[in-house]
Amino acid sequence: SEMDSADYTLLVVDAARKLDVDMERTLVTLMFLALRSRGRNELGFRAGEKNPTAAENDPLNKFAVVMNKVDLVNPKEKLLLSVSHVGSMAESVIRQLLHQRRNPAKVRLGDLVDTVIKNHLDEEGFENIHEDDIEMFTAVAPQFLFTSAITKDDEGVDNVLGLLLHRATPSKNWIIDAESATGMSPIEQVEEIIREKIYRCLHREVPHSVQQQNRMFRLIEPKRKESDPVDEEKNKILRIHQDLVVKTKSHQRLVLGSGGKTLERIRSTAVRDLEDAFGCVVDLNMNVRVSKLNQDVTLETDIEGAKTFTI
């Protein structure tokens, strides 16, 4: 994910919304991803590729939690309870990663998340922390900021900007050259555009549970005749097949919508943005399926045509 190359992560939490189990799992998962991030590299290596600029024993990267819409929380004691709840989850995540560093073992991310959800309310202080890790545990604990962006002079927003400026580090070179609109690959652009439409068309915890799996990414060029004009861009067709993978049949029904209307709304709105991004006709086919193994899936990028397509 893009978080793997992030130097610093802000987790924005809707303070006015009750944290249900699905939201807790989402937050804990993002905390793990943020803390396991390798940070920015100067050579433009993508996630999964070896980054020679990264130190072998980099400390856990820090992250901050932004509690947004605090003006809607009354009484304010509820806000303190929410901060305590999110903070206990963050501390439990740090405990798990410190334990993993001292006792390396292959553990699924989902299992780590389950452990945090189960135990975080029962853990306190430096419990289960090795004495040599106490200083790191304290340093990695996230900072909390509070925002209510309903007025231009909101101090919370200034605090967030100040934190980001403080955390900013110098870079030797720009990873993206001046002529490039994005540093993402074509497949990643497809994923981001469809992901945005998923969030716009679905609500509550459902969009957080939807994962994407690419099945086809192929640019089809029509056979040219000598009499055809040189510029044939508009006649090219980019064919994309993508699965939306969910873990329950109830989520599958929600993503499909009545008569498939929700899925069609996701598809049709995504097509418009995809055609603008790639400058050609896009044939987007989408399918919703339930993961039989209930395991995480990844977007497949090593597909014929994915690496050769240029914008």
pLDDT of residue 287: 95
CA atoms within 13 A on the CB side of 68: 10
pLDDT of residue 15: 93
pLDDT of residue 234: 60
Partners of 213 in beta bridges: 243
Partners of 282 in beta bridges: 238
Q: Which residues of the chain have pLDDT under 70?
A: 1-2, 40-61, 149, 151, 170-171, 175, 224-234, 293-311
The residues, ordered by sequence, that sit 6+ positions from 269 with a Cβ below 8 Å of its Cβ are: 197, 200, 201
Name the amino acid, one letter, at 186.
P
pLDDT of residue 57: 42
* Residue 100 backbone dihedrals phi, psi, to 5 degrees: -65, -35
pLDDT of residue 307: 33
The residues, ordered by sequence, that sit 6+ positions from 17 with a Cβ below 8 Å of its Cβ are: 23
pLDDT in tens, 83-127: 999 999 999 999 999 999 899 988 888 899 999 999 999 998 888
| CB distance 58 to 97 below 8 Å | no
* Pairwise CA distance, residues 2 & 37, whole Å: 9
Distance of CA 119 to the CA centre of its chain: 25
Q: Residue 185 CB: number of other CB atoms within 10 A? A: 15
pLDDT of residue 194: 95
pTM for this predicted structure: 0.61
